[in-house]
Chain A
Amino acid sequence: MVEGQIAIEEYKTGNTEHTWDLQQIKSAHKVLTTFSYKKGQVTKGYANRTLYVNLNTGVISEKPVTDEMKKMFTGGRGFGLKLMWDSIKPTTRWDSPENELLITTGPLCGATEYAGSGKSLCLSVSPSTNIICDCNVGGFFGPYLKFAGFDALEIQGKAKQDVVVVIDGEKGTVTIETAPLEETNTHVLSDQLTHMFATENTDKSRQKVSVVSSGTAAEHSYWGCLNFSFYDIRRKVPRIKQAGRGGLGTVLRDKKIKALVVKVERFDGVSNHPADPITLANVGTKLHREIRNLDRYQCNMRAVGTGHLVEIMDAYDLLPTENYRFGSFPKASKIYSPKFYELFTKIIPDGCWHGCTMACAKTVDGYTVMTGPYKGEKVTVDGPEYETIGACSNMSIWDPLWILEFNFYCDTYGIDTISAGTATAFYMEMYEYGILNKERCDGLELCFGNADAALTLLHRIAQGDSGEFIKVAAKGARRVKDWIIQNGWGEKQLVEDAGMESKGLEFSEYVTKESLAMQGGYGLTLKGPQHDEAWLIFMDMVNNAIPTFQMKAEALHYFPMWRTWFGLNGLCKLPWNDVEPANNAESSEPSKVPEHVQNYVEYQNAMTGWNVTKEDLIAQSERCYNWQRAMNVWLGRGQRKDDWIPFRAMGPVTEMEYVSRKERYDKYLVEKLGKAQKDVDKMTVQEKLTILYEFRRNQYQKLSDAVYYRRGWTQNGIPTPQKMKQLGFSDKKMLKMLQDKIDDDEKKGLNVWGGIYGKGEQPPITEKRYWEKWK
């Protein structure tokens, strides 16, 4: 029998079916505020207004999007930054009432013709980092928000009781309603709300509703994520994608928002009213064909999603294992993508937005939950993606079913799999050393590989357990480091260097020890160590294409800017380089995928009617990138000390790690540090570790010097007013703030290079206040 071609109405997942008394749940809603707006038309990708909701005052209003705003900030994350700058204060923290949660779209968001055009960009001051965290996420909410009439949703204030905010694009109303009876956990809540707010009792109608929610663990943790739903007419469940990083779900629940709901009347590929729909469809179809012809030979995304990376990372010693101590593991083949392929439901469209034929959003249907409150239920698990699998390999969990269990509960409890996995891996390492133990961990035996304990930790966080460890563990690796050091349980340097966080955010799942450029890709970032700004490991480590500091700095300029561009437009990055034209290797710069860059130039022009070049795309990003860094400075961070990364990201922290890759490191000492082989042979492991530590720390500082200079920042990493003016900014408050900070740094002696330069070496520029000459 041919698998596939199953009529939509006949499709079965085997999930446990629920029936809710939706009328009873709905009748408990009390409408607190209603705002009616005039429905409008999206023109050339813009709705031309944003929606402001204040939960303290009940005020709901529209704000116009000006041409100046489009010119300077483009859209999406750029609009988010601008709106936040106008609304928060330098003292704003994640739980301040004036902190905002933003969901933005971007001019290309919601197009159906080009794969990966349905991303929402979320921003808030993060509980983990105390600076702005931006997260991109799939699902239908962003596109529907725009088609309901708004380029962005800006939420300020806190409600007194649990509420839902409903944007009804059919009626043209926005309401704030109390929602006392709904579940909080996503897999139930989004199902309830999707059914409740669908206009008709049909799957097609339910597909026009999208819900943003989090879960009970987000109320007690800094790892809260936002789950964006997209109703699947075949599986008949609202599936979810996560804005995972930085605790945005924590902010959502702190504002007492149970969910955000949006619905649209109708939409299609021209609801954005592109300036040139014909070109848009042609460019989109070209990419569909490329994916059809090449994906199976390249990334195989359509079959296994991002999980195809597991075997590649394991082969290159990059798969994080036992808290990044190792990059590969003998058991790793148990979690290679074919193992998940066996579990995934096949042959149905798996895009997280309509028309995405990259289709990486895989699911396991009819999965039987093994632990916790939903034990025994059969559910759809969205994922696992590579990062979730990597988070589990980091905890030394090598059973696909336990990975699914971890994935399911993180999602429904509303927490980020990456942060939870990376932090728990760190706790496990501390447990192995006896720095933590069963007593200190409130009875949890957090040894590597103990999946049951990892799940119990999640359940106890979700229950609001008052154990000291549970409470601090839920706040992440940074807070646990401080807690361990305060208690005097472990050597400070070991604790600091083993816990994989920077700026307070946990690392995502790549081992960066042997790639200096990728260390910069994690450390010299805006929001913290994630891989959406730059992924340079292969270019740097495998192909050795960027050997000098200057070349690495150029890569750490271009790629973060280029990748930022997707977030300004509401796009997913995957269709850029996770499928490549067949002749890409013969192009001038294969790592940039020039043909696809040209697609995006044509795409943005076709949508907006502009006449931009590929250089203009980078300029769009550079404005927003610098603006965000400047806002981080304004919030008290965003400087060299904040770009610190733990040594585990740079090299071996423990003797065991050194010995496990002895040949590699001994060779490094000879080749890179110029040590004589016979001297290396005589050294103790500890001596070798110390030398490597000093050398690589200095390498990182030199890299930071080169990158700051390339980006137009001071030696302390502050964007200069001169650079901001070059980018076209004239905001006096911003320029003065930066100048004051630079003057203050001068007094404190911080305007100096961080690297120690030996004979024949020099910093990027010897002149001290080099930026003052820039016009």
Chain B
Amino acid sequence: MNNPTTVKILKFHTEKCKNCLECEKACSQVHFKTKDGGEKSAIRIIKTENGYRMHVCDHRGLCLDMCPVGALSRRKNGIVWLDVDTCIGCQACVGFCPIGAMRKADVRIEPFKCISCGACVRACPEKALELVETKIADIQEVVYHKLGV
């Protein structure tokens, strides 16, 4: 099998963002068929002292080795994908994501995450978001182990 070598990940232009949260609404539409945004969005815009920052999965794939049932895999296009039908809702990936980008909404047991679909990019009126092709080798990470004692 040919493993993917690149993946598209989101890039955020903070200076353009006006916090309209259209990106979150578009994202929750993708995942939960609602424009609620917020808890139901895989991308979150967070206010900081100097403006805004984006909080979203960067497809480093640390969660891949956490899934006991194989619900997480890297797809042909390089993204880390959660297969909801296979997922058993153990939250291991949620608990172990180092940046908290694997999310869980109260409405269902299975988590959800960014799938680099571009809905948020298209929804952003300020063009503050873009998808950037990145080498997987540069970002991938695996579950830590303390090597020996």
Contact = CB atoms under 8 A, between A and B. Distances in A.
A368 B50 CA distance: 60
A441 to B, nearest CB: 38
15 contacts: A2-B141, A4-B64, A5-B65, A8-B73, A268-B88, A268-B89, A296-B145, A311-B149, A337-B148, A341-B148, A347-B145, A349-B66, A354-B88, A355-B68, A357-B95
A9 B110 CA distance: 23
Given A7-B73, A278-B106, A354-B90, 17 more contacts: A2-B142, A5-B64, A5-B74, A5-B142, A268-B110, A281-B89, A284-B91, A288-B92, A289-B96, A296-B144, A337-B149, A338-B149, A341-B147, A347-B142, A347-B143, A347-B145, A357-B92
B67 interface: yes
Interface of B: 1, 3, 61, 64-70, 73-74, 86-92, 94-96, 98, 104, 106, 109-110, 137, 140-149
A200 interface: no
A233 interface: yes
B61 A5 contact: yes
Given A113-B91, A281-B109, A233 B143 contact: no
A593 to B, nearest CB: 18
B104 to A, nearest CB: 6
Interface stretch (A212-220, A300-308, A569-577, A764-772): A300-308
A428 B43 CA distance: 64
Contacts of A46: none
Interface residues of A, number: 50
Contacts of B66: 349, 357
A348 interface: yes
A382 to B, nearest CB: 16
Nearest to B80: A5
Contact of B86 (A7, A9, A204): A204
Contacts of B88: 112, 267-269, 354-355
Interface string A331-360: 000001110011000111101001101000
Given A7-B3, A8-B73, A281-B104, A288 B94 contact: yes
Interface string A279-313: 00100111111011000100010111000100100
A4 B142 contact: yes
B85 to A, nearest CB: 9
Given A268-B87, A337-B149, A349 B67 contact: yes
A352 to B, nearest CB: 10
A704 interface: no
A161 to B, nearest CB: 37
Interface string A138-175: 00000000000000000000000000000000000000
A284 B90 CA distance: 8
Given A112-B89, A304-B149, A347-B145, A4 B95 contact: no
B91 A281 contact: yes
Interface of A: 2-5, 7-10, 112-113, 203-204, 207, 233-234, 267-270, 277-278, 281, 284-289, 291-292, 296, 300, 302-304, 308, 311, 336-338, 341-342, 346-349, 351, 354-355, 357
B89 A288 contact: no
Contacts of B69: 204, 207, 233, 354
B65 A10 contact: no
B127 to A, nearest CB: 33
Contacts of B74: 5, 7
A233 B110 CA distance: 20
Nearest to B66: A349
A527 B1 CA distance: 53
Contacts of B70: 8, 203-204, 233-234
A291 B148 contact: no
Contacts of A2: 137, 140-142
Nearest to B61: A5
Interface of B is mostly: loop
Given A285-B95, A308-B149, A337-B149, A354 B87 contact: no
A206 to B, nearest CB: 12
A354 B90 CA distance: 7
A470 B80 CA distance: 56
Contacts of B140: 2, 5
Nearest to A270: B109
A354 B145 CA distance: 20
A269 B73 contact: no
B77 to A, nearest CB: 15
Contacts of B68: 349, 351, 354-355
A546 B118 CA distance: 62
B89 A303 contact: no
A269 B70 CA distance: 15
B69 to A, nearest CB: 6
A285 B103 CA distance: 11
A289 B89 contact: no
B106 to A, nearest CB: 5
Nearest to B141: A2
The 9 closest A-B pairs by CB, nearest first: A288-B95, A355-B90, A269-B89, A4-B142, A338-B148, A112-B90, A303-B145, A296-B146, A268-B88
A355 B64 contact: no
B149 to A, nearest CB: 5
Contacts of A285: 91, 94-95, 104
Given A233-B69, A285-B104, A302-B145, A349 B92 contact: yes
Contacts of A311: 149
A113 B89 contact: yes
Given A2-B140, A300-B149, A337-B149, A355 B91 contact: yes
Contacts of B92: 288, 349, 355, 357
A277 B89 CA distance: 11
A288 B68 CA distance: 14
Contacts of B86: 204
Contacts of A341: 147-149
A289 B149 contact: no
A288 B63 CA distance: 13
Contacts of A10: 1
A528 to B, nearest CB: 32
Contacts of B89: 112-113, 268-270, 281
Contacts of A302: 143, 145
Contacts of A7: 1, 3, 73-74
A291 B141 CA distance: 18
B136 to A, nearest CB: 9
Contacts of B95: 284-289, 291-292, 357
Contacts of B73: 7-8
Contacts of A357: 66, 92, 95-96
Contacts of B65: 4-5, 347-349
A4 B88 CA distance: 22
Nearest to B90: A355
Contacts of B142: 2-5, 347
Contacts of B149: 300, 304, 308, 311, 336-338, 341
A303 B1 contact: no
B143 to A, nearest CB: 6
A389 to B, nearest CB: 14
Nearest to B88: A268
Contact of A288 (B67, B91, B147): B91
A287 B149 CA distance: 23
Contacts of A233: 69-70
Contacts of B91: 112-113, 269, 281, 284-285, 288, 355
